[in-house]
Structure formats: structure tokens, C-alpha cells
Amino acid sequence: MERRLAAVLIADVVGYSRLSEIDEEGTRIRFHTDLHELFEPKIATYHGRLIKTMGDGILVEFHSVVDALRCAVKIQQQKAERNAALRPEQRMLFRIGVNLGDIIVEGEDIHGDGVNIAARLESLAPPGGICISGTAFDHTVHKAEVGFSALGEQQLKNIADPVRVYRVLLDPSEAGKVVASRRPRRRAIILATLAALLIATTAIVFAWPWPFVPQRPSVAVLPFANLSSDAGQDYFTDGITDSLIADLTMLSDLDVIGHNSVFAYKGKPLVLADIGRDLGVRFVVEGSVQRIGDQIRVNAQLSDTASGDHLWANRFNRAAADVMAVQDELSRQIAEALGLKLTQSEAERITRPPTANLEAYDYYLRAEQATRTGRRSRLLEALALFDKAEALDPGFAEAFAADAHATAYVWRSAYDDVLQSALARKRAYEKASRALALDPALSSPYAVLAVMQVVDRRYEQAVASAQQAVSLGSADAEAHMALAYVQLFSGNHAEAGAAVETALRHDPNLSAINRYTAGLVFYLQRDYTKAIDSFERARDGSPGNGDFVTPLAMAYARAGRLDAARATVAEGLRFLAGRDSLAAWRISNAHFRNEQDLAFILDALREAGLPEWPFGFKGNEQDRLHGDEIASAVMGKLLRGKTEPSGSPALMQIERDGKAAFRAATQMITGTVFVNGDMLCEQSENAFGRADCGPVYRPANLPAETSYAYVNSTKVFYFSPVK
């Protein structure tokens, strides 16, 4: 039995029994005509799989819930066009339900709650209409040319927990809208009665001498809208949002949702009640920024998600040079509206501008926007922008801190084409240290140092740095995830799990790299359901990045889903052009303090089909050289040959003392070469400075003009020594 997450579409004919009584044969013919001429072509177009027909019903599975909804919309639109040309008694109407949920796969059939909920949704849909679940809505709200009417939580038959339900608005004039449905008058009367009872009960409760426990306010700052005519000003608008989040995060009596979760709402229709429930917050800040020449206009408002009431609103019309003063006033006024009493240190930090140099601040905002993409080309751009900001204001602590964070990401991800490993390591340490020298109260530099220290196997120092980051940034999800990473690799699984759960409370929608860390934590805790969810979110949150594909395979394998695990490994290898391997995982994760943790990962990846060496290289043990044979073949020699998979020419010059240089069409590496046992090892500034070792073979069937094959975690090199 296999379980998986899938999008499910169920369609059913309205009044099929009544139609059959009137014309049984004609009704059946019309149903099959719609099935073959309407449903099946649309299902194929949107990459669905027709599971079965059930009398007058149709069950379909999709990999993408967006495809499922688009398919349903096209079916209903085309069916409406067909019906318009028919007499009323010949018209056949369908109801459709769409859900994203867990399904059970048995052979060619599917069932489980994911299917049952879709069936209940279909019964709620109006004739010719569509109803979808809240999980489906969350993934499709901005990706289909339709609107939605929120029907609230519904208690569906035989489904334990209430389900959020949305009716799809098919009228083109309502595309992009999300509206609340109008409740029937009878229900309004019932609700009014219940409200009166609740008020009476509340009066009794407050009259009784219960101890009063204050609840911390919680807030989400949604991405401000860019109302400037230039879309290129997004970085400036996003910067104001991020600065407001950072200021509010520093307040000890306030819980603030992190960047990743709130920016998931950017450009989407906003339903305060949904946001409050999904993010677990009582209050929401939203607003807009308009930049015209050297002037800016900022509008902002604070709303209660439960009532929808606006608690505070203000408009700021200032010179662009006063942007930091505007941010200061925003933070202070929102804190006052929430009834917070700031400590002296909190008030001072909010009113202290990060820099007095507007040009430096502009470079900093542009760099932050480039960093958030995670793309290699943009990261290279970000580092250059940080350099400019720091040169203009050498006292700009936040710029140095953000620079350290971006550089550490480059180093941790082994993006040697952005900045070579040793240079990235040196830069990250220097920038983090400089940031702390300028402002010891920043949490981010401690988080950067913690991650780097644990990779350097300085476990106690790493834990201390991460704990300091959390102490200074108690509401900073990044700080908690740094602590999770450090505790994970230090072998403290329970502490790592607790740190992940805290981070998720502050930022339910973590970044891809933090989702990957969370997945590792859950995996080593043997919670494969949570591990799969985290790894899937990491993969989906960074499309096109193969680094976040393969990890999912290990969790699938441990959960007994071997077919899915092997398919995932194959997908990862396609993304990474065959470069991924057990050897690569072994060297990049060699800082696990407990060897059994790394072994538990490698064993599952091996079972999932990840090859030992890149490009699927396999050597014959009968052809393998021993240590003295390797030394005789390569030490003090110039090795000329070709590399996989392109067959491009490559050279490796190895001096007798081990100093070496490797040069290929796209690679130039200098370092040291030595023989360790029966392995040839390269140690360079790449791979965290770790020795990258592999076997050497002398097989008979090598490419022309080559005598040996050498493989490690990064290359397959066919060569011959040059005399």
C-alpha cells in the first residue's frame, strides 16, 4: 500500500436518476459523450489520470492541484457552451469537487480522506459549479483566472475535522476576487442567538474570580504593495516591509511572523480571517508604498483578523531621504496601537537608523532582494552590492550582517562558481565579526558563526553561538533554525527538533534551505511523515534547484515508498546532470558528530538508487590499483585525459611533493594530492577544505589514448601519464 499527496477531482451528474427515468438510454449516451469528448481530452491536456467512472461519477488524479482546478474550470465553461445549444430537457449539468490531500494507492485505484473530501465538496457545489478545499485554495488562489467565495469551515460527512470550503466564481468579471459568502437569514438568526448566549456566559466568567493570564499579541506584516509606476521599485517596497518586520521582532512582548511566511501572500488576494488562522496571528499590518522622484508616500493600517476592524491607520508623505524616519514612526505607532510598553533599549533600537547614508541603504535593499532569490547569478550580484553599501558606510552593521548571511549561504551550498569555498569562508567570518563589532546586539551574525563553526567541527562553540543568536533574536526564525542545524550535526536530536518547532511558530513557511534542515531533523528522529512534508516543501519552494530534490528520496525509502524514492533519485540526477552521488553526500556532510547519523542517511539513499560515484561510474574491483601502484602512476607526473560526461580535455599536474593543479574546460583547481590507503586524495579550497578521495582503476576498455580511470565526488577523469 502506497500513500502520497495528490490533487483529486470528482465530478457527478446533477439529477442523474431523474434524467434516467425520463430517458435512460439517451442519458447514458449523453454522459459517455461528455466523458469521451469533454472530460478525457481536458484531463489529458492538464496531465491528469482518469482513475475510474462510478455510475454517473468521474474520479481523476492530478500531480498538480493547479492543473486540477484549471481542468475543472475548462470543463464547466465548455459544458455551459454545449448546454446553451441544447433544449432544456437535453442539458446535463455536473458538480465538481477538487481537493489536495493524502490518498492511498492500491493498484490502479485510489481512496482515503483525500478522495472522500473531494466527494463531499462535489456535493456542496452548485449545478454547473465547482467547490474546492482550503488546501487546494491555498495553492491555486493566484494561479487560475477565476474568483472564489469563502464558505467558511464546513463539517463534512464522515470527516473528523472541519474543512475550509471555497466556491469557484467562473464569471470572468470576478477573476482574482476572494469574497465572503452571504449567510442565509436563518443561520444569521441562529448565530445571533449563540452570540447572545456567549455574551451572557462571558459575563458570568468575568464575574467569577478566575486568575487572569495575559496573552501575547501576535502580528504579521504583509508585503506592502508597490504603487510606483516602476516595477523595479519592488526592492524598495520590500525593504520597508522587511525593516518593519525586523523592528517589531526586536520587541520582547510581541510575536512576529517571519519574512518567508508573509511574503507568500505577495500579490495574492487577502482574506484577513484566513491569514489569521493560517499564520496563527491576531493582527495584520498591510500597506502600500509609492515612490515618485525624491518623494515617497507610505500608507499603512493595522487590522484585527478576528473582527476585521481597523485599529490604526496612517499616511506618510515625505522626502525619500526620510524613509528611515518613516520606518521608525511606523514601528512606534504600531507598537502603541497594540498597547505595548517599550523598554528603553527597545525604544532606542527602533529609533536608531541603520545608516545615515541613503545611497548605502539603497544598495543594501537591492542586495537583500537579490539574496532572497537564492540564484547563483543573483547571489554574485548581491555580494557586489553589499560591498558598495559597506564602502559608502563602514559603520553599517546590518549590511555587514546581511553580507555574512548571504556569503555563508554561498559557502554552505558549495557555490564555488559564485565564490570559491575558502574565500567564501573567510569573507563570511570577517563580515559577521565586523557586524558584531559594530552592533553586538544583532542576532544574525551569531547564527552565521554557529553554522560555520559546526561545519568546522567546533561543536561546543557552535552551540554557544547559536544559543546567543536565539537569546538576542527570540522571535527570529533564522536564529532558531541555525540552532536546529547546529544541534542536529552535534548529535542532539531532541534539541534540534525543539528548535525547529519554535522556528515554525515564528515562520510557518520556512525558506527552502531551512525546510531542508527541518527535514533532516525529522528524518533522524524517525518521523518520516514530517520529514517527507518538509523535504517536499523545500523542493517545491525552490523549483529548478536539484539540491532539494534528492533528499526527499531518503524519507520515501524509510517510509517504504521505494518506487517514489527511486523516481525521486532519477529526477534529482536529471536536475544535476548526473553529478549527485553518495560520495558527494559523504564529503558535504562529514561534519556529523555521530557517524551513525550520516550512515543512516547514506543507507537510505543507497537503497533509493543513488549511485556511489558521479555520472553513474562503476569500476571493476579486479582493475583497481593499490596505494603503491597509484603513487607510481601519478606522483610527479603530468596526467592528460578527458572528463565525464562531456569528454572535454583535462590536465592534472602533480609534483613529487604533492602540490597539484587540475585544469579542465570549466574548472581550475589547485591544492595537494596524496595517497591514503588505496585511495587518491585531492585537498583544495573547495569542499570545505576536506580531502576528496577516490579509487584509481586500470581497465582494458578505456577511451582512446587513456590508461587509467580516477573518480571522486566531483569528477570522473580518464587519463594517461605523459612521459
| Cβ neighbourhood burial of 401 (10 Å; 0-12, 13-18, 19+) | buried
Mean pLDDT (the chain, rounded)? 87
- Of 417, 409, 420, give the one whose Cα is nearest residue 377: 417
Structural domain ending residue among the three candidates 559, 581, 607: 607
Per-residue cell: 412? 554552505
Q: What is the pLDDT of residues 651-695, one digit of tens each?
A: 999 999 999 999 988 778 889 999 999 999 999 878 788 999 999
Torsion of CA 223, 228, 233, 236, to 10 degrees: -50
Structural domain ending residue among the three candidates 569, 587, 607: 607
Same domain, 171 and 238: no
At residue 208, the 3 state secondary structure works out as: coil
**DSSP track, 645-705:** TTTEEEEEEE-TTSEEEEEETTEEEEEEEEEETTEEEEEESSGGG--EEE-EE--SSPPTT
Whether 360 is in a domain gets the answer no
Per-residue pLDDT at 1: 61
Whether 342 is in a domain gets the answer yes
Whether 210 is in a domain gets the answer no
0.85 surpassed by pTM: no
pLDDT of residue 190 exceeding 80: no
- Of 427, 441, 495, give the one whose Cα is nearest residue 463: 495
CATH no. for residue 528? 1.25.40.10
Residue type, 283: F
Q: What is the pLDDT of residues 279-317, one digit of tens each?
A: 888 899 998 999 888 889 998 999 888 887 888 888 888
CATH no. for residue 121? 3.30.70.1230
Structural domain ending residue among the three candidates 298, 324, 351: 351
Same domain, 175 and 58: yes
Same domain, 600 and 650: no
Q: What is the pLDDT of residues 334-368, one digit of tens each?
A: 988 888 888 888 888 777 888 889 899 999 999 99
Same domain, 176 and 226: no
Per-residue pLDDT at 345: 80
Per-residue b/e over 152-164, b at no fewer than 16 CB within 10 Å? Answer: eebebeeeeeebb
Q: What is the pLDDT of residues 508-537, one digit of tens each?
A: 889 889 999 999 999 999 999 999 999 999
Whether 373 is in a domain gets the answer no
Same domain, 456 and 592: yes
- Identify the weakest region by mean pLDDT among 197-206, 271-280, 599-608, 613-622: 197-206
How many domains does the structure of the chain reveal? 4
Same domain, 20 and 122: yes
Per-residue pLDDT at 179: 75
Same domain, 450 and 597: yes
Whether 100 is in a domain gets the answer yes
pLDDT of residue 206 exceeding 90: no
Same domain, 453 and 601: yes
The Cα 496–Cα 504 span in angstroms is 13
**DSSP track, 41-52:** HHHHHTTEEEEE
Using alpha carbons only, how large is the chain's radius of gyration in Å?
30
- Of 38, 1, 12, give the one whose Cα is nearest residue 118: 12
Same domain, 269 and 309: yes
**Phi and psi, residue 64, nearest 5°:** -115, 130
**DSSP track, 413-473:** TT-TTTS-HHHHHHHHHHHHHHHHHH-TT-SHHHHHHHHHHHHTT-HHHHHHHHHHHHHH-
Q: Work out the average pLDDT over 604-608.
A: 97
Same domain, 400 and 343: no
Domain that holds residue 313: 218-351
Q: What is the pLDDT of residues 131-149, one digit of tens each?
A: 999 889 988 887 888 888 8
Same domain, 105 and 169: yes
Whether 258 is in a domain gets the answer yes
Residue 251 per-residue DSSP state? -
Same domain, 585 and 628: no
Q: Using H for helix, E for strand and C for coil, what is the string for 532-574?
A: HHHHHHHHHHCCCCHHHCCHHHHHHHHCCCHHHHHHHHHHHHH
Per-residue cell: 144? 487560475
Whether 208 is in a domain gets the answer no
Whether 197 is in a domain gets the answer no
Q: Using H for helix, E for strand and C for coil, what is the string for 372-429?
A: HHCCHHHHHHHHHHHHHHHHHCCCCHHHHHHHHHHHHHHHHCCCCCCCCHHHHHHHHH
CATH no. for residue 275? 3.40.50.10610
pLDDT of residue 197 exceeding 70: no
Q: Using H for helix, E for strand and C for coil, what is the string for 148-179?
A: EEEEEEECCCCCCCCEEEEEEECCHHHCCCEE
